[in-house]
A and B are shown apart, each in its own frame.
Chain A
Amino acid sequence: MATQHSRSAARLMMAPAVFLLLVWMLVPLSMTLWFSFRKYLPLRGGDLGWAGFDNYVRFVTSSSFWPSVMTTLMIVGGVLVVTVVLGVLLAILLDQPMWGQGVVRILVIAPFFVMPTVSALVWKNMFMDPVNGLFAHLWKFFGAEPIAWLSEASMQSLIMIVSWQWLPFATLILLTAIQSLDSEQLEAAEMDGAPPLARFFHIILPHLSRAITVVILIQTIFLLSIFAEIFVTTQGSFGTKTLTYLIFQRVLESQNVGLGSAGGVYAIILANIVALFLMRIVGKNLDA
């Protein structure tokens, strides 16, 4: 169908988007690469010359490096597990006949509209505060000792906050996918006496695999760089320092742009490894 003419037209039409993104990628990337080989300390007078691989070595040998990589993977993984599992269950529930479905759907998607800073502030202060938070009141009501969520269960708390924000997204995509499921197929299975669990694992889940793939892919892209939630809640304390946050500390708090830029290069490498990994396991699902 595609003629030579339309092919070149197509290339032309793709050009603006490709060109812009190429610039958006190359300019910061090359500047980051350049800085990462410089001894660049803004508060000591700026660019102090060539640093070789010093920044790279220093960043990777810092005691914070590997824990931060682990933290990043744990947060991304944790949020993915929570949102996908709860998202599937919620999508199945919302797909059932009920009264007021529209209103319930509005309630469920609401967190997606809340800006990350606001959501982190609300959770941190009004729910997780160990003295005045709602959870503390609840715990005391049941005679339990309130939990200092953000220090004692920092990782779980963070995963919960981020999952709350992303659950609506997962649910929506999975719900649309479930709704496209042939209901006759399910009914036939029910007639045959297949128990609900079997129906779930043999019909619903395979049907959802593509939607789950999409959820994982999109969320991973956003989750790898979460920042505001950590900045507001723990500021990287109590084992919640992600690679992104570590870079932030090096660039802005330590004012070592060279070191931070080297960290940025590592972060890009990590993101690409994750992306490659993702493509391997989920990419097949994406082939149209």
Chain B
Amino acid sequence: MARAVKTQRKAINTALAWAVGLLIFFPILWTILTSFKTEAQAISDPPVFLFFDWTLENYAVVQERSNYMRFLWNSVIIAGGSTILGTIIAIPAAWSMAFVPSKRTKDILLWMLSTKMLPAVGVLYPIYLLFIKLGWLDSRVGLIIVLMLINLPIIVWMLYTYFREIPGEILEAARMDGASLREEILYVLTPMAVPGIASTILLNIILAWNEPFWTLNLTAAKAAPLTAFIASYSSPEGLFYAKLSAASVMAIAPILIMGWFSQKQLVRGLTFGAVK
């Protein structure tokens, strides 16, 4: 009896959760479907869902117009580079905040977060002028550094909350065994923190990949990532839903696939200290 009630409840939960899940996912699904339609089918009324002549033409058109691989490669380098650089700088900082906290630790943390509140548009001219002086305009190095700085506070915070949950006694023990500070971080702390670091890295790759302002405004041809790629497909002349969909799928697919495959790692550390 109780088992039957449980099964029934599970069935209802399942149905409800799947309905909600599909509803949330639907815009992406619809974009993927539309990308395989012709332009006429893309706007047909009533809309066609699955039974249309699937075509790859839109992808061919997009590929012919823009060198997708170059944009993709730039996105990979910029998102990956800024995340790795940020993590390298953030790990020692987070370590010291977590294990040698002082009265000002929390203030420093909040101050770091507050640097993210500077509206990007307001400093476009200063940064642009600076980039010209440094010769960083349209270079991947410049973008890696800017995105690293933008995301550094988040990286530090995530690592800090994660490190804090690691019992200090273990580090203490390592120290007793004569481990130097470097060894302590490298061989004791880091392996234990791998899940947290992995999750931090994943989240920041996503944030860097999707950053829409600097990646567009500080690049031209050489360093332009996928955010600039998509800017050439928004509202062109004539019917464009199918081509826009194809370009959208191409822009989000790599990160979506990465996210899905690594969602366990991403979720595990994505707590920002919210769970005790």
Classify the secondary structure of A's interface with B. Answer: helix
A17 contacts B152, C-beta separation under 8 Å: yes
A93 contacts B127, C-beta separation under 8 Å: no
Binds A, one of B55-63, B65-73, B110-118: B110-118
A6 contacts B251, C-beta separation under 8 Å: no
Among candidates A9, A90, A125, residue contacting B20 with C-beta atoms closer than 8 Å: A90
Among candidates B18, B90, B115, B181, residue contacting A9 with C-beta atoms closer than 8 Å: B181
Take A32-B126, A116-B212, A164-B27 as given contacts and tell me if A126 and B121 are in contact as well, using a CB distance cutoff of 8 Å: no
Among candidates A115, A211, A247, A261, residue contacting B212 with C-beta atoms closer than 8 Å: A115
Take A21-B112, A121-B234 as given contacts and tell me if A28 and B226 are in contact as well, using a CB distance cutoff of 8 Å: no
A126 contacts B241, C-beta separation under 8 Å: yes
Which residues of A are found within 8 Å of B30, using beta-carbon distances?
A: 122, 126-127, 134
B21 at the interface (CB under 8 A from A): yes
Which residues of A are found within 8 Å of B99, using beta-carbon distances?
A: 2, 6, 10
B213 contacts A228, C-beta separation under 8 Å: yes
A186 at the interface (CB under 8 A from B): no
Among candidates A99, A134, A213, residue contacting B14 with C-beta atoms closer than 8 Å: A99
Instruction: Give the contact-size bracket for chain B.
Output: 35 or more
Which residues of B are found within 8 Å of A265, using beta-carbon distances?
A: 122
| CA of A225 to CA of B251, assembled, Å | 23
Take A35-B126, A107-B22, A243-B119 as given contacts and tell me if A11 and B96 are in contact as well, using a CB distance cutoff of 8 Å: yes
B93 at the interface (CB under 8 A from A): yes
Binds B, one of A48-56, A151-159, A169-177, A189-197: A169-177
A248 contacts B121, C-beta separation under 8 Å: yes
Residue of A nearest to B45 (CB): A137
| A-B pairs with beta carbons under 8 A, tally | 294
Among candidates A1, A27, A114, A125, residue contacting B241 with C-beta atoms closer than 8 Å: A125
B103 at the interface (CB under 8 A from A): no
Within 8 A of B (CB), among A238-287: 243-244, 247-248, 251-252, 257, 260-261, 263-265, 267-268, 271-272, 275, 279, 286
Instruction: Give the contact-size bracket for chain A.
Output: 35 or more
B144 at the interface (CB under 8 A from A): no
| CA of A236 to CA of B25, assembled, Å | 28
Which residues of A are found within 8 Å of B244, using beta-carbon distances?
A: 121-122, 125-126
B245 contacts A106, C-beta separation under 8 Å: no
| CA of A24 to CA of B82, assembled, Å | 15
Among candidates A125, A173, A227, A288, residue contacting B121 with C-beta atoms closer than 8 Å: A227
A78 at the interface (CB under 8 A from B): no
B24 contacts A167, C-beta separation under 8 Å: yes
B17 contacts A104, C-beta separation under 8 Å: yes
Residue of A nearest to B231 (CB): A117
A224 at the interface (CB under 8 A from B): yes
B3 at the interface (CB under 8 A from A): no
Within 8 A of B (CB), among A1-41: 1-2, 6-7, 9-11, 13-14, 16-18, 20-21, 24-25, 27-29, 31-32, 35
Known: A104-B20, A109-B259, A172-B267. 9 other contacts (CB 8 A): A17-B92, A21-B152, A98-B10, A110-B259, A141-B46, A210-B275, A251-B121, A264-B119, A271-B119
**Listed A/B pairs (15) with beta-carbon separation below 8 Å:** A10-B97, A20-B149, A25-B118, A28-B118, A93-B13, A98-B14, A100-B18, A108-B20, A108-B24, A115-B252, A117-B234, A121-B234, A211-B271, A213-B274, A267-B119
